[in-house]
A = this chain, B = another copy of it.
């Protein structure tokens, strides 16, 4: 469905919480889970993976928990999604350079162009540090200067404009 998994969602939620509300204290998984009303055990698993990535420092025992081990500007949402969700490419064929994954590598005609699209999406994801994923909505830094997409009119007549603008967020959930 081209969407973040719950795990990625939880990971971003937790990281944002740690970056904002956990200056230099250990935060228990339970605390975050209750704060956001999400299953604690599943979040625990996510936290483990984040810890294994080296982004969180864990300390067991009572008064234990997790602490953000790196700067909140050194991880991007792309990194998080890739780590916790297992790859964030649009198609399989973009993981391995020699098409060992994708079946129709041999006679696929859209690999090149799609790869380009993929890179653009990855660029977007890779340039939003988790610092910008915080309580504040639409962070000023990102809004104004971080990422801006320039799209000249190209060869697209009226139809494209209509279709593109209509379809920003419009979902049919039958």
Contact = CB atoms under 8 A, between A and B. Distances in A.
B79 A167 contact: yes
A88 to B, nearest CB: 5
Nearest to A106: B37
A104 B3 contact: no
The number of chain A residues touching the other chain, given as a range, is: 35 or more
A166 to B, nearest CB: 9
Contacts of A35: 107
Interface string A140-159: 01110111111110111101
Nearest to A171: B95
Contacts of A82: 167, 170-171
Contacts of A2: 2-5, 8, 81, 85, 87-90
